[in-house]
Amino acid sequence: MLSDILRWGGKRSGQPDERHDTSVSRGAEPLVPSKAFPKFLSAIANRPEPPVLIDFGPVIGTNVAFFGEQLGCKLFIEDLFADFDRHARAGTLDALPATIDSRFRHADGSVDGVLCWDFFDFLSKPAAQSLARQIVRMLRPGGAVMGFFCTSSSVDRAPFTKYEIVDPNSLRHKAHPGSGGKKYAFLNRDIIKMFDGLIVSDSFLLKNNIREILLRRRS
């Protein structure tokens, strides 16, 4: 456990890759380098069978083509942002943890990778714990989870973001039509506790103050 924490700290001060150090904007859709995404890809790559992935974001054609055509993954689109939006509009966000608990049809230990994007930022602690519990349940030994976590203090209202894969090292941050919601900033120790059963294998603090965290289940 201690080694995991030390390793985590070490990565945060890792040397940046100059090629991807600065965000490249295209209008309002910045192209942002990702440190965790290539590691996520390598984590799911060495599988005897086609990897099974869950994507918590809205469906994006290029991402589907990337995972399906290029990597041969079986992809499950579970658009939790749409669920959140629906609950927010109906004023039933308190019911979100229960919804999450009953939402996933995947068997225990049947998933190789989970793309959470920044969905946890929009969840209250009980909802985040429900979702983390489901992820831990579904994840296969050796499987990986990638999530983005904000570092600033909680914000009352923030828009959703869609993450479009441009290449294995960079993502385009696109505007999401959803209403957005309150953002919560989780401490590192909260994240470790939430994902009890997984280890934080890599953590990167980007220049835009987003933490990219990769969690793994031991093989």
Partner 1 sequence: MWKRDDAAKPNAPGGPGPAPAQHGSVPPAAEAAPGKPAPAGDPQRGQEKTAVNIGKSVVIKGELNGSEDLTIEGQVEGKIELRQNVLTIGPNGKIKAQVFAKAVIILGEVTGNVTASEKVDIRDNGSVDGDIASPRVAIAEGAHFRGSIDMQKGAGSQKTEGKPATASAPAASAQGQQQGQPSSPATAGANR
By CB under 8 A, name the binding residues for partner 1.
50, 59-61, 64-65, 68-69, 72, 74-79
Nearer to partner 1, 19 or 105 (CB): 105
190 residue type, one letter: D
Q: Specify the DSSP class assigned to residue 13.
A: T
Instruction: Write down the least CB distance from residue 34 to partner 1, Å.
Output: 21
Instruction: Write down the least CB distance from residue 122 to partner 1, Å.
Output: 19
Q: Which residues in 81-117 are b (16+ Cβ under 10 Å) and which e?
A: bbbbbebbeeeebeebbebbeeebebeeeebbbbbbb
Instruction: Write down the least CB distance from residue 72 to partner 1, Å.
Output: 6
Nearer to partner 1, 115 or 191 (CB): 115
Nearer to partner 1, 162 or 183 (CB): 162
Nearer to partner 1, 76 or 124 (CB): 76
C-alpha distances out from residue 165 to 25, 46, 194, 218, Å: 15, 20, 27, 27
Give burial (CB, 10 Å; 0-12/13-18/19+) of 77.
middle
Nearer to partner 1, 27 or 61 (CB): 61
Whether 129 contacts 197, CB under 8 Å: no
Instruction: Write down the least CB distance from residue 90 to partner 1, Å.
Output: 18
The distance from CA 175 to its chain's CA centroid, rounded to whole angstroms, is 17
Q: Give the SS3 label for residue 201.
A: strand
C-alpha distances out from residue 5 to 8, 61, 134, 188, 213, Å: 5, 37, 23, 10, 12
Instruction: Write down the least CB distance from residue 113 to partner 1, Å.
Output: 14
Nearer to partner 1, 54 or 145 (CB): 54
Instruction: Write down the least CB distance from residue 104 to partner 1, Å.
Output: 12
Nearest to residue 96, comparing CAs of 117, 118, 123, 133?
123
Nearest to residue 52, comparing CAs of 122, 138, 126, 119?
138
